[in-house]
Amino acid sequence: MQRLRKFYQLVLLFVVFILSFTFFTERQAKSSAKVSYEVKIPLGIPKDLWEIFVPPDNPITPEKVELGRKLYFDKRLSVDNTVSCATCHDPKFAFTDGKKVSEGVRGQKGARNAPTVLNAMFFEQQFWDGRAPTLEEQAKQPIINPVEMGMPDHDAVVKKLKGIPEYVDAFKKVFGGEITIDRVAQAIAAFERTLLTGNSPFDRFIAGDQNAISESAKRGWQLFQGKARCITCHEFNRSNPFFTDNKYHNIGVAMNKEGFAELARKAEQLAKQGQLDKRKLDELALDPAYSELGRFLVTFNPKDIGAFKTPTLRNVELTAPYMHDGSEATLLDVIKFYNRGGNENPNLSGEMRPLNLTDEEMNDLVEFLKTLTGEFPKDFPENK
């Protein structure tokens, strides 16, 4: 009887070992399938964090990244072959365009400033209003927006790309099949997940190099965390080193738009009456008549009227002009805006209040923000 009991114990241990080995092997295989691309992770970004943010349904491979790079810079994705993703998100401008608001096909102007693509993979939603939940969904929208790249629909995009032999061959190699709009978006998103920035003077300072930033910048860092209250929304910690809370706030910038107060009242009434729908969300976001409603266009929640996403501050020195409408020309202008408590309106965030910063303190904050300028990919064949 005792021998039989020992025998069953050994069998049980063997089964547990086999199951554990199988689970570990499958998990390792899934992890390997998810990422087979060696990306350079800069100081300041945890490597495991990057791997976590690569979605299982869009594993990264060198071939997919290369295809995504070509699509990102290819102006043939626009209706008249004049605009690419890189037109508004240019490496020369830290993946923005240096303009107040972006310009699309036929010189048309949108209503919002182009945010940087750098580190965008870590953001919980995309666009100033968060209307796209992923990089893949974000990549699809500008191509068919009449103000941006102007293609009539996604079928037209696919048809156009199928007429280019190099893309037919590339998609077959990367995806094992034909071109689809989902695969176009997956390739562009895979490339964008390699667009990382870090190793700034601030990163080296936080890592222990006390000489990496100036005394003025050190004072600015203390102000950022304290009196200036910047860190309330521009969060920073080791697991979220991107200087954003990924949330949406009304700081009063929308009040720059003439007639905004009346628009806000009308939008609130329509929301209460259930007379709004999301069918033209992407178009409304770029329509100057509606764009200032911000996050409201996504949620239809009156509390979100005039609210926009907290942007990352990394490389902020290089991404002027500022705010979602490009209304502030310099970093000092931005700090003065916050110092006076923003622009008063019924939906103003409760976090907004006068800061009573001195001129010296505001200059120290500017010096600190400059230390967030880091390294990022700049050299691409298409961009020379």
The catalytic site residues sit at 148
Q: Which residues pair with 248 in a beta bridge?
A: 309
Has 88 been labeled as part of a binding site?
yes
Contact predicate 287/109, CB 8 Å: no
Query: Whole-angstrom Cα distance, residue 20 to residue 173?
Result: 35
Residues ≥6 apart with Cβ < 8 Å to 153: 144
Contact 369, 313 (CB under 8 A): yes
Q: Of 282, 279, 280, which is closest to residue 143 (Cα–Cα)?
A: 282
Is residue 72 within 8 Å of residue 142, measured between CB atoms? no
Does 154 belong to an annotated binding site? no
The DSSP secondary structure of 36-70, one letter per residue, reads -------TTS-HHHHHHTS-TTS-B-HHHHHHHHH
Residue 106 belongs to what H/E stretch?
none
324 annotated to bind ligand: no
- Angle at the Cα of 74 (from 73 to 77), degrees rounded to 5? 130
Flag whether 234 is marked binding. Answer: yes
Residues contributing to the annotated binding site for heme c: 85, 88-89, 230, 233-234
Residues contributing to the annotated binding site: 85, 88-89, 230, 233-234
